[in-house]
Amino acid sequence: MRGAVLKRCLLAAVSESKNIRLIVTDVDGTLLDSSQQLSPRVEAAVKEARAHGVPLVIATGKARGPWTADVLLGLQLDTPGVFMQGLIVYDDQGRVLHERRLCEDVARDCITLAADVGVTLTAYCGDRILCAATDVHTDRLLFYKEPPPEPVGDLAAALGGGGVPVHKMIFMADQDRIDALRPAAEALLDGRASLTTALTGMLEVLPLGGSKGAGLSWLLDWLGVAPEQVLALGDGENDVEMLQLAGLGVAMGNAGPKARAAADVVLAATNDQDGVAEAIQRFVLEPARQRRQQQGHVLMS
């Protein structure tokens, strides 16, 4: 019991010293539960933090799509957002503030590699997702309420000439095939692109140096918020740079090993146990209550 009390005090002191002004959260596996639902407890915590002057920004690997209506409207968010692994930053009206695109030669090489090894490839192009043909792998994106993948037949022809902006690509297959593919993709794209993974059976190809952390860094400069004043929440490899950038990086109880290693704090609570709400309570709302109590004592004295 004494150890638990000491740990709570230490964590409260950490959050207090950070003077958190902004909460940044991943979406799948973090903000939403395993059924892609926003729990009432998480929703209440986000809104209470906002009432205390600490708004929330989402930072997701996904494109803007059908899911945004549920999340953004449900939380009544009027903040910018970091999308597509940090490659596009939108304002609260959905207008592009910042973006990075994949080089044409990288896109071509990804298409060739996918064809050579027989795996599915999707191209994320703004709010569209293109593929040669839909299959069981592209259908997985529908569960996450991504924009419906569009089969175009010859993907190289559809993307040729630079007429369609490509922000990232995702190799999709069973996880054992992705594990076998990754070394070849790393060798092929070395020095030209960055690789990450957000979900099982997917390997993402981003512009070199692209990450949620890089996109968030741009947004913080634009907002005039120091990284030390940010509470970041995540669960996956694609959250690592964001967790490292933030003054306080918190991994969910369901987080993978890379996110856990990058975080300052790993919660016991998972995304199915309202981990985001727990983090907001511990690191934003409780310190705010303590400050009010201290101010009250000063006034009374």
Whether 32 has a pLDDT exceeding 50, the answer reads yes
Whether 12 has a pLDDT exceeding 70, the answer reads no
Tell me the C-alpha to C-alpha distance, in Å, between residue 230 and each of 113, 193, 261: 39, 27, 18
Tell me the C-alpha to C-alpha distance, in Å, between residue 185 and each of 13, 60, 100: 44, 23, 20
d(CA 215, CA 100): 9
- Dump pLDDT digits (tens) for 44-82: 999 999 999 999 999 999 999 899 988 987 898 999 999
d(CA 247, CA 19): 9
Those residues whose C-beta lies under 8 Å from the C-beta of residue 228, and which sit 6 or more positions away, are 18, 19, 247
| Record: fold of 2-99+211-300 | Rossmann fold (3.40.50)
Short-list 25, 27, 29, 23, CA closest to 235: 29
Query: What angle, 0 to 180 degrees and rounded to 10, lies between the N-to-C axes of helices 175-189 and 104-117?
Result: 140
Domain with CATH 3.40.50.1000 in the chain: 2-99+211-300
Whether 5 has a pLDDT exceeding 90, the answer reads no
Q: Which CATH architecture has domain 104-207?
A: 2-Layer Sandwich (3.30)
Task: Answer whether 232's CB lies under 8 Å from 246's CB.
Answer: yes
d(CA 248, CA 123): 33
Domain with CATH 3.30.1240.10 in the chain: 104-207
State the chain's mean pLDDT as an integer. 92
Q: Give me the pLDDT at residue 300, please.
A: 53
- Dump pLDDT digits (tens) for 125-148: 999 999 999 999 999 999 999 999
Q: Give me the pLDDT at residue 290, please.
A: 85
d(CA 242, CA 273): 22
